[in-house]
A = this chain, B = another copy of it.
Amino acid sequence: MAVINRKARDKQLRKADILKAAESVFASKGYHEATVQDIAKEAQYGTGTVYLYFKDKNALYFSLLEEKIKSLIDAAKEKTEKIKDAKKKLEVFIRQSLFFFEENQNFFRIYTMEKSSLQLIVGKKTTESSRAVEHATEYVEKLIKIAQGRGVINKNYSPSELADILTSIIGSIVLNWTRTGLGSKKEGSLSDKADFIFEMFLNGVGKK
């Protein structure tokens, strides 16, 4: 019994090693230009070892994507669920998203690439992962609906459309930040942009 547990745990550790390496390599080269050898080398394993833990390059990629998206959503849920006030809920969600991407810049790159490639990249399989991406916006949609119910957001607008818009605004801010601030911490933390996003999402950028 104890043996099985340790083996299972070790197996998880190996998988985690490989996923971590894959994240960094996919982020810097993109799916197609990243080679399995690159990933193996980065993870300090032989090429064949990767195939002991993942069926193929594709499975590795989607495994990575799903795991990360799950943790993104989980973290957001955990932070926002307890909050009652709809406005605050939305604001915390935005801040948490920024925080997550700040901590996971490599994942952010992969995530945005994936979102735009949509049904592409490697034929059919993407359906699975696009489901994962959908889950992410579904949660945002839920928050929007709550805000609409509480009279915080105008009910005339489609929640799913607003969810996509909010998501893309956040993405655009993060992208901007990775382009400029990357090394220098002069710009301050990315999460500081949460107020700005929240404010402009609710009240726009027009001069009052």
Contact = CB atoms under 8 A, between A and B. Distances in A.
Nearest to A144: B205
Given A153-B207, A164-B173, 14 more contacts: A29-B120, A30-B121, A32-B32, A33-B120, A33-B123, A115-B116, A116-B116, A161-B176, A164-B172, A164-B175, A168-B171, A169-B169, A202-B204, A202-B205
* Chain A interface extent, by class: 35 or more
B202 A173 contact: no
A126 to B, nearest CB: 11
Contacts of A121: 30, 33
Contact of A117 (B113, B167, B173, B206): B113
Question: A interface, by DSSP: helix, strand, loop or mixed?
Answer: helix
Interface of A: 29-30, 32-33, 109, 112-113, 115-118, 120-123, 151-155, 157, 160-162, 164-165, 167-169, 171-173, 175-176, 196, 200-208
Nearest to A155: B207
A144 to B, nearest CB: 9
A172 B176 contact: no
Contacts of A33: 120-123
Name the 10 nearest CB pairs between A and B, nearest first. A202-B206, A204-B204, A168-B172, A203-B204, A32-B32, A30-B120, A116-B116, A168-B168, A112-B116, A202-B204
B176 A164 contact: yes
Contact of A173 (B112, B120, B165, B172): B165
A204 B201 CA distance: 5
Given A113-B116, A116-B112, A176-B161, A153 B201 contact: no
A122 B153 CA distance: 43
Contacts of A153: 205-207
